[in-house]
Structure 1
Amino acid sequence: MLELKNVNVHYGVIHALKDISLTVNDGEIVTLIGANGAGKTSTLGTISGLVKPSGGTVSLDGKELNKIIAPDRVSLGVSHVPEGRRVFSRMSVLENLELGAYLRRDKAEIRKDMNNVYELFPILGKRNKQMAGTLSGGEQQMLAMGRALMSKPKILLLDEPSMGLAPLLIMEIFKIIKNINEIGTTILLIEQNANMALSIADRAYVIETGRIVLSGTSKELLASEDVTKAYLGG
């Protein structure tokens, strides 16, 4: 479904991604784990079109995305929930969700998907007229995810969905991520909480200083001494 092949990214003289290759198959949850500054966010930005690679290819369902601008990638099925949520704080919950469907014209399906988002995130339905900036951090994360789902993505890119949240909310967010996947959305997840990420993912990649250094099933990485020492507090 999604394939990155030998992707490189430079920020001036800084070589942020170095020959990154990874795949996400249809229906999977794949997680990319690594320390701050390892290149995780740059990887997602390259997929969604926010970051321009200096080499390599990004493709979705066999279609190369390198020359396709970010808005057009949304219409092809790529949806990105950025780190820090980035909700439109002076707009209502409903307006944020409607913006997620901005490129769509299938009004009946949009209404259906809006109802599906409210089923996944009941609090958003209760607060649909409330300004997004007045929501709690957890509620804003739910809104950012709901807004992304309104574009009807083939693949959902999640950047640090648990950041700044209380432990109980983290558990809830990850349960919802699993539910989103089970109802048909493929997910590529970046997450500092490696234990939680590996607990729901099918496969995982480990990135260090811009390079993929390890990959395998989540069970394999959970059993790895190196991963345990570096990321799981072992």
Structure 2
Amino acid sequence: MLTVEDINVYYGAIHAIKGISLDVPDGEIVALIGSNGAGKSTTLRTISGLMKPKTGKILYEGHDIAGVPAHKIVGMGLCQVPEGRHVFANMTVLENLELGAYLRKDKDGIAKDMDDVFKKFPRLLERKDQLSGTLSGGEQQMLAMGRALMSNASMLMLDEPSMGLSPLLVQEIFDIIQNVHKEGMTILLVEQNAQMALSVADRAYVLETGRVVMEGTGAELLTNERVRSAYLGG
């Protein structure tokens, strides 16, 4: 569904992404793991159109989207849930979800997806008229994911969904990710919690200083000695 070919990305003079290539097959969860500053979030921002690669190709369902504006990429079915959640704090939960569907015109489809989001996230239904800025971190993460689902996406990119959450909430968020995946969603997951990411991923890539240094199935990397000592605490 998504193929990234040898992209190079710069912040001014800083060469942040150095020839990264990766594949996300239709229907799979693919994880990017690595320490802070490895280039994981920059890779997602480049795929989603928030940054432009200097060289390389980004193919989504066969179309080269490198340099395509971010809102057009969302319209093509590829949606990012940003690091830090970025809900619209002064708007209600319902208004945030409606904004997720801002490119859509199919009223019946929007209503159906809203029902589906409330089934997946019952807590959002309880708080639908509450200002989003008053939600807990876990609830804001659920809202950010629900808002992305309202775009009628075929593929989600999740950037650090467990950041700042308690272990119990981390498990809940990952259960939701797996449920969304079981319903047919393709997912590219960036996650500091390498143990959790690899346990749900079909395939994974390890990034270090802007390069892919290792790849394999989630199960292979979970038992890899180098990955264990660097990212899994031994």
TM-score category of the 2 structures, normalised to the smaller one? over 0.9
The equivalent of 1:82 in structure 2 is 82
Q: Does 1:3 align with 2:21?
A: no
Shift of 1:152: 1.0
Alpha-carbon distance in 1 for matches of 2:66, 2:50:
11
Deviations 1:83-112 (A, max 9, x none): 000000000000000000000001001000
The equivalent of 1:146 in structure 2 is 146
Q: Does 1:163 align with 2:163?
A: yes
Runs ≥4 in structure 1, deviation > 2 angstroms? none
Shift of 1:154: 1.2
Shift of 1:68: 1.5
Q: Does 1:114 align with 2:114?
A: yes
Alpha-carbon distance in 2 for matches of 1:44, 1:76:
16
Would the aligned equivalents of 2:49 and 2:67 in 1 still touch at CA under 8 Å? no
The equivalent of 1:172 in structure 2 is 172
Shift of 1:65: 0.2
Shift of 1:60: 0.4
Alpha-carbon distance in 2 for matches of 1:157, 1:210:
18
The equivalent of 1:219 in structure 2 is 219
With normalisation by structure 2, the TM-score equals 0.99
Q: In structure 2, the residue corresponding to 1:215 is in which secondary structure?
A: strand
Instruction: Give the alignment of 1:176-187 within 5 angstroms.
Output: 176-187=176-187
Corresponding pairs, count: 234
The equivalent of 1:137 in structure 2 is 137
Q: What code does the residue aligned with 1:38 have? A: A
Deviations 1:18-60 (A, max 9, x none): 0000000000000000000000000000110001111101110
Deviations 1:166-212 (A, max 9, x none): 01000000000000001011000000000000111100000000000
Q: Does 1:91 align with 2:91?
A: yes
Alpha-carbon distance in 1 for matches of 2:171, 2:229:
23
With normalisation by structure 1, the TM-score equals 0.99
Q: Which runs of 5+ in 1 are unaligned?
A: none
What's the C-alpha RMSD, in Å, of the aligned pairs? 0.5
Q: Which runs of 5+ in 2 are unaligned?
A: none
The equivalent of 2:199 in structure 1 is 199
Q: What code does the residue aligned with 2:120 have? A: L
Percent of aligned positions that are identical = 62
Shift of 1:13: 1.2
Instruction: Give the alignment of 1:5-20 within 5 angstroms.
Output: 5-20=5-20
Alpha-carbon distance in 2 for matches of 1:197, 1:120:
20
Alpha-carbon distance in 2 for matches of 1:30, 1:197:
9
Alpha-carbon distance in 1 for matches of 2:218, 2:167:
21
Alpha-carbon distance in 1 for matches of 2:14, 2:44:
18
Alpha-carbon distance in 1 for matches of 2:68, 2:10:
19
Would the aligned equivalents of 2:53 and 2:67 in 1 still touch at CA under 8 Å? no
Shift of 1:67: 3.4
